[in-house]
Every structure is written in C-alpha cells, then in structure tokens.
Amino acid sequence: MADQTPAGDLRLVDLTKRFGGVTAVDGLTLTVGQGSFFALLGASGCGKTTTLRMIAGLERPTGGQVLLGDRDVTGLRPHKRPVNTVFQNYALFPHLNVFDNVAFGPRRRGLRAVDDEVLRMLTLVQLDGLGQRRPDQLSGGQQQRVALARALINRPRVLLLDEPLGALDLKLRRQMQLELKRVQSEVGVTFVHVTHDQEEAMTMADTVAVMNAGRIEQLGAPADLYEYPATAFVATFLGQSNLLAAEAAGFAGPAGSDVPVTAHGTRFSVPAHRARAAHGPVYLGVRPEKLHLADSVDQLPAGHQHVTGIVTDASYVGVSTQYLLRTGWGDELWAFTANTASGGRLPIGAPVVAHWDPEHAFLLPRAPAAADQAAVKLDEPVGAPS
Ligand code: ATP
C-alpha cells in the first residue's frame, strides 16, 4: 500500500444498501478498533457480504459513510483504499506458483526487490519451502494460507475476510481459525471477518457483531454476547437458550436488586443486573448447560430455582448428554450435562427437576403481539383460511 499512515479505526456511519426493493444493509453504524479482530456474524442473506463489499469499495452504498480514521473513503475506488479482501474461493492465479502469487501485488506496484518480503510472508503463514508449487499442488488449507500471504504483503490497514474457511473440512477449519488468530496478532492489522459460524466468530474475534436482516442485533466480546444476550435472536443464534415466556413485575428486593417474574402462575426471580427488561412480557432465559437435573426438589442447592418435567429425548454427543425435557406446562427445555462421571443416562419418561442458579438466568424483552402471532401461525393447519 502506498499509504503508510496509521489508518485508525474503521467506522461505518448509517451505512445502507438497497437493491431495488430489498434492503440488504439497513443503517449500520459501528466502529472497528484499529488492530482488532472483528467478526460479522449472521445467517445467510443478513447482509454480511454486502457490508464487506461496501468497505472494500466493490459496492456503492445507497447511503451513509465508510471512514478510516478521519478519512472518508466512501467515494474511493477499491484500489485506492488501504483494504484487501480474502475470499472463500481464494482466487489464486492458477498459472503462477506460490511465490509469484504472493509477489503479485508488490510487483504490480512496480516494486522489484520483493523476494525477502515474500519469503517473510511465506514464513508467517507457515509455507516455507513451498514457493515453487502451483496452487493445484496444494491442499485447501495451504491455498488459503497463500491467499492470506498475498493479501497481507500489500500491508493493508484493514483485511476483509469473506467466509475464508468455508471450503475447508471441520478439523482443518478449526486449525486455520487458530492460525488466522495468530497471524492477526503478529501483524496487528485490523481484520474484519464475515462468517455464519458462531463458533468460528467466537474462537477468533475480539468483538463479534451479530447481524440480522441488515442490522446489528448486538455487538460485544464473545463471552458477553453469550452470557448476557440482548435479544431473543442473539440468545438462540449464538448457542442455544431455553426461553420461557413470562411476565415481569418491575424491580423488587433490597434496592431493586431482583426482578420477580411469573410464568404459568409460578414465580421466579432474576437478578436486576441480568435483566434487559423488567416490566411486562419477557423471556426468562437459561442456557442448557446451566440447567441442572435432579431427582427431587430436596436435592437442590440453596437459592436455586426449578421447574419439573419429564425426559422426552436424550442424545449422547461425547462430551455431554443433551436432554430434551417437557415441563408440566408443555414447554420444551434443553439441559446439557457433562459426561464427566460414570453412571447411567436418564431414561425417556423419567421425571426430573430442572434447576438453575438465578445468577445464570437472564431476562429479555418479548414483543407480545409478534410472539402471539407466531404462535398462532405455528398452530394453524397448512392451508387454513386466514
Ligand atoms: P451469505 O452468508 O449467504 O453470503 P450474506 O449475509 O452475506 O449472505 P448478502 O450477500 O449481503 O448476505 O445479501 C443480503 C441481501 O441482499 C440478500 O437478501 C440478497 O439476496 C440481497 N442481495 C445481495 N446482492 C444483491 C444484488 N446484487 N442484487 C439484488 N439483491 C442482492
């Protein structure tokens, strides 16, 4: 890159893209800190790639701005931006060997003495000694490393990664996730990584932005998003959550320390600092691994809250057994128990007490109209007159 000044933070301000009647990106405003590893996470079609393409300059925004530090780059052509992209399909030149693929960018800019830098990049991505091979003589993971080296040699201020590990098998994918994280911390370049894989986003990124329908639902450190989701979408997209429809009665207890909630006539409470909503319709949430199982209420630790139910399914998945329970009210709950002790699994039909520490519960706002409509639709027979 010709521009060697520090880029500063990447800022998107009210960034919007409409394709005809489709709003792909809907007024996105966010800041990606310089040198951070940022993941845009969301389901297919939520607008991740379009956002990346607007940052790269490959797509013209319908509205809003892209800023690098104090510089507005919204109107700049792609090659004028200190930004490079690594795509899922690698896009290597098939007729060039690895060395020449990596050297391509600097040579195009007229640099001649590139050998040392190319060798340094090949070492960075652990491809020493493979410079003379052609792309078709490399594994998928090795090709992805070449693509990474080829982008990084241009010293971009921001590296955009669009599902770069999508074509790799699971094991290699996990290995490359750690590898990408190592490379990012070594080079200190801002990485913006697009993925629909929540585990991938959480493994690698300092900050994850969960996207839904062109908007950011929640942005934060992976552990914060997981432990304290802001919306029902995030609670169920990032891992699994048990969400009980309930009614909240405002803050109570000493200095408003708790929020009492009622579900199916039964009272529970959630610490105020874990409540995103404290009045009216809410979801009472508990993660499946935080839901413990006991034979009777006499066995519960002090302070735990509980519901009773029966086991309707049990799946052994190696590290844990995943139980599906049905409460007396008909709600379905997941409980994951670690397979750390020997002992039998609970049989289908077994009565159980599912209990949790209120410090592990959370409260989310629930839109009553939307939830009720969804419930009605689910119950309606197909083809019923509306
Ligand atoms: P995926 O994970 O499947 O790649 P994504 O989150 O990256 O999805 P985008 O590719 O950004 O999603 O697409 C967002 C929305 O914009 C989708 O509804 C898509 O159909 C639409 N879209 C994207 N590109 C175009 C285009 N060139 N013309 C019309 N609609 C488009």
Atom of ligand 1 nearest to the CA of 53: 11
Residue 190: predicted pLDDT: 95
Residue 91: predicted pLDDT: 81
Instruction: Tell me the CA–centroid distance for residue 53 and ligand 1, in Å.
Output: 11
Residue 380: predicted pLDDT: 33
* Ligand 1 pocket check for 235: Cβ under 6 Å: no
Instruction: Tell me the CA–centroid distance for residue 106 and ligand 1, in Å.
Output: 32
Instruction: Tell me the CA–centroid distance for residue 24 and ligand 1, in Å.
Output: 6
The first and second tokens of residue 10, run together, are: 């990447």
* Ligand 1 pocket check for 46: Cβ under 6 Å: yes
* Ligand 1 pocket check for 47: Cβ under 6 Å: yes
Residue 222: predicted pLDDT: 96
* Ligand 1 pocket check for 55: Cβ under 6 Å: no
Atom of ligand 1 nearest to the CA of 50: 11
Residue 112: predicted pLDDT: 81
Atom of ligand 1 nearest to the CA of 42: 6
Which residue among 18, 28, 40, 49 has the greatest number of ligand 1 atoms within 8 angstroms of its CB, and so is best to mutate?
49
**Looking at this protein, which amino acid is placed at residue 233?**
F
Atom of ligand 1 nearest to the CA of 196: 2
Q: What number of CA atoms fall less than 13 Å from residue 19's CA on the CB side?
A: 9
In the chain, domain spans: 2-223, 240-365
Identical fold for domains 2-223 and 240-365, yes or no, is no
Instruction: Tell me the CA–centroid distance for residue 167 and ligand 1, in Å.
Output: 19
* Ligand 1 pocket check for 22: Cβ under 6 Å: yes
* Ligand 1 pocket check for 195: Cβ under 6 Å: no
Residue 199's CB is within 10 A of a number of other CB atoms, namely 14
Instruction: Tell me the CA–centroid distance for residue 219 and ligand 1, in Å.
Output: 21
* Ligand 1 pocket check for 45: Cβ under 6 Å: yes
Closest by CA position to 103, among listed 212, 95, 112, 94: 112
CA angle 169, 171, 177 (to 5 degrees): 95
Domain 240-365 part of CATH 3.20.20.70? no
Residue 343: predicted pLDDT: 66
Q: Whose CA is nearest to atom 19 of ligand 1?
A: 45
Residue 251: predicted pLDDT: 84
Residue 290: predicted pLDDT: 97
Taking 70 as the pLDDT cut, the residues of the chain under it are: 1-7, 342-343, 368-386
Atom of ligand 1 nearest to the CA of 17: 16
* Ligand 1 pocket check for 214: Cβ under 6 Å: no
| Radius of gyration of the chain measured on its C-alpha atoms | 25
Atom of ligand 1 nearest to the CA of 51: 11
Question: Of 2.40.50.140, 3.40.50.300, 3.40.50.1820, 3.30.565.10, which CATH number belongs to 2-223?
Answer: 3.40.50.300
Task: Say what the pTM is.
Answer: 0.85
